[in-house]
Amino acid sequence: MTAGSGEPGEPGDAARFTAIYDACRQRVWAYAAARAGRQAADDVVSETFAVAWRRLDDVPEPPLPWLLGVARNVLRDRYREQVRHAAFTTDFAGEPPPGRQGAADGDIAERVAERLAILRAMAALPDGDREVLILVAWQGLSTRDAAKVVGCSAAALRVRLHRARRRLLRAAGDAPPEPRGTAVPSHVRMVTKEIS
C-alpha cells in the first residue's frame, strides 16, 4: 500500500483489509458499544478501520488487539472533544453539565435485574477498571492481548484485573470475601468467573 494514498498498492491489500474487517468488525463494535454506547459505536468502528486501511502494513497478526488499541485511542479523542465542548458550552450557558442517565429500575426478569446490577456496578468503577474488565470478560482477550491494547505488561494487566475484580465486587455491594467461603451473588460470580 502506498503511504497516504488511500488506494491499495498491491493486489492483496484490499483482500487482506476485507478479511480483517470481516473477522474483527463485530468485536471492535462490541468494544466501542461497551465503552461509549451503541450510538457512538458505528462512528468508532468507521474511524478505527479508516486508520487500519491507512496503516495496513502496520496491522499485525492477529489484528484484533491492535484494532482495539486504535479504537481505544479513537474513544479517548472523542471523550476529550466532548469534555472540551461541554466545558465551552457550560461557560457560556452557565449551567452544570448534564448528569449520567441511570438504568431503568424495572423488574422484568431475574436476568434483567442481574444485568442491571452488573451494569450499575461497572458504571461505578473507574474507567481503567471498566476497560480491563470489558477487554477480558466481554471481549474474551487473553491477559497478554489485553495488555497490548492497554499498553502495559501482561503481569501489570493481571494486577489491574485482580484489583478491578475486587472493586467490581465492592461496587455490586458485595465486598470481596476475606475469609474463604463467603457467598457471592450469582451475577457477580458470573462476571468474575469469566474474567479469571
CATH number at residue 5: 1.10.1740
Residues 135 and 91 in one domain: no
Q: Looking at residue 111, which CATH number applies to its domain?
A: 1.10.10.10
Query: Mean pLDDT per segment of 10 residues, for the chain of length 196 residues?
Result: 50 88 94 87 92 93 93 85 60 43 47 72 83 84 88 91 87 57 47 48
Residues 163 and 80 in one domain: no
Give me the long-range contacts of 61-67 (CB less than 8 A, separation at least 24).
62/145, 63/20, 63/23, 63/24, 64/23, 64/24, 64/27, 64/28, 64/141, 64/145, 65/141, 65/145, 65/146, 65/148, 65/149, 66/148, 67/20, 67/24, 67/27, 67/28
Choose one of 83, 99, 115: the last residue of a domain: 99
- pLDDT for 109 equals 60
Residues 27 and 6 in one domain: yes
CA distance 196 to 40: 29
Choose one of 99, 116, 147: the last residue of a domain: 99
Task: Output the pTM of the full model.
Answer: 0.51
Residues 6 and 91 in one domain: yes
Residues 155 and 171 in one domain: yes
Residues 32 and 116 in one domain: no
Domain span at residue 180 reads: 106-196
- pLDDT for 25 equals 95
Residues 36 and 110 in one domain: no
How many structural domains are present in the chain? 2
- pLDDT for 98 equals 46
- pLDDT for 124 equals 81
Residues 115 and 166 in one domain: yes
Residues 63 and 126 in one domain: no
Residues 139 and 94 in one domain: no
Residues 26 and 45 in one domain: yes
- pLDDT for 76 equals 86
- pLDDT for 17 equals 94
Choose one of 60, 83, 99: the last residue of a domain: 99
